[in-house]
Amino acid sequence: MKFLVASHLLIGTTAAQTIGNAPKSFVLDGSIQEWDQRAPSFGLPGDPRYQYWVGRIEQGLVIAGTGNAFSLARDQSELSTKGRLELWLSFTHDIEMPPISWSGNGATEETCQGREGLAERDCRKWFKDQSIYREKIKAQFSRMWRIAPNVTEEVYASANYASLIKGRGHFANLKPSGRLTARFLMGEGSRFTYEILVPWDAFPLTDRLVMERVQLEVDLVDGNQRRRVRDPMVRPTLRSFAVVPPISARFTPCEYPLVGASGEPAFGSLGAKLELRNAFVFHNGLACCGAVEGPLLGSFSPALVEVKHLVQALEPGEFVCASPVAYRNGTVVSSSQVELGFGTDFGLLDEKSAPGSLPVRRLADGTRLLRYGPSLWLQEQEYTRCASCPFVQFKIVAISPNGAISQALDLGTRIDATEYDIEISADWRTVTEFENTGEKWVAKKFCLTGHHYEPCGVNEDSPPPKNGLVPNQN
């Protein structure tokens, strides 16, 4: 039976460093009878009053142990002054970010030099503020709970989040969530035993999907007012523990890697069943548009850009996801290089137009055709003549009965001085692309041949489209 240990670094440590499964007879009731009392503990050597164990169950990690306190807190108002347990938890604190810059990665603090009057002062203040902002972001990768018999409170990530979000709704995905369950059994005098369940959705942000180690510390604050209490807003150095088997999460049913659209590292929040609830990447956007010569008020470096994947259920246990397009049927996942959209440096002209699902048409042999768009996109860029000229994208993707994914049709252009539209027949057998550069409409027809579309005619002097699909740009 394998289950090990929590740390009590302020008291002393032993050599055990592996977290395994909790006892099969585990019940979350505060009693530690089911835990192997002979297993090594990170408590005070030779003192059975300070023993700690950590085990894994389906819902999360369990910390169990013994303690002794002068006076345990009875409610939230006493958590900072009376006896309590303090639990730190993290996957990592070593988070890399792009350089502090107000436009791309090159507009660093050197650009403040030589500005007139208040402009240089405001510029340098912006850079100083970004350092503070980054520490608050990093704090979301750790948790510290104060725990007593009838109350628990997360005080580290939550306090940093509260000061981070004032008026900043786009940080909502960082909000600490999940609720610990703690059970205490009181013994003789001030002695007690406890068991604490930390559910997966209460864990801090992660930078990976397979987590082979966690950083952990358990401390007993005994309620003696004469002893100095450590500042809860200063993250201590936490000890790292191997987890066997590793904690494995998945990003959508199609099991995407935890990366952004361009392959850059991404970060995410765990859900209750070890699925990612959301994910984001760090990104320094380009300042746009006009004569932008310094950091904009209210801007951040880096910004947090959400990593989104469409997930569409086709049948029970069968999903199509994007982007890139992937397909899951039962336990089998098929991936592809077929992209919908343009990547991190592009954004939809209207975010509300992002499809919640893709139209699907099934062919006689069971192959599914899925239609994406037409949609309008803008490229992130500094001011140019055509900074606001949208790109049009229209795609049809084929998924065979055995899960093979292929691109059946790919149309689109950048609209500058061009009129552009697309029509599709009711049976999806033909798609017509219309373009007018100023004198007349040219219509190119594409016909479904097997599972793909092939050119099947051009009208150099076509009537304008009647049932165009391209959204209005206004």
pLDDT one-digit tens code per residue, 237-278:
888 889 999 999 999 999 999 999 888 999 999 999 999 999
CATH of domain 18-95+137-248: 2.60.40
Q: How far apart, in whole angstroms, are the C-alpha atoms of residue 203 and residue 272?
A: 10
Among the listed residues 170, 245, 230, 238, the one whose alpha carbon sits nearest the alpha carbon of residue 204: 238
Q: How far apart, in whole angstroms, are the C-alpha atoms of residue 470 and residue 144?
A: 51
Are the beta carbons of 112 and 127 closer than 8 angstroms?
yes
- Residue whose tokens read 């002062």: 121
Residue-level pLDDT at 291:
55
Are the beta carbons of 144 and 232 closer than 8 angstroms?
yes
Residue-level pLDDT at 132:
92
Among the listed residues 285, 306, 85, the one whose alpha carbon sits nearest the alpha carbon of residue 183: 85
Residue-level pLDDT at 228:
52
List every span in the chain annotated with CATH 2.60.40: 18-95+137-248
Residue-level pLDDT at 386:
47
pLDDT lower than 70: segments of the chain? 1-17, 37-50, 117, 165-170, 224-230, 288-292, 342-355, 380-388, 473-474
Partnered with residue 332 across adjacent β-strands are: 329
H or E stretch including 435? Answer: strand 430-436
Give the chain's length. 474
AA identity, residue 315: E
Burial 437-458 (b: 16+ CB within 10 A, else e): eeeebebbbbebeebebeeeee
pLDDT one-digit tens code per residue, 89-101:
999 988 999 999 9
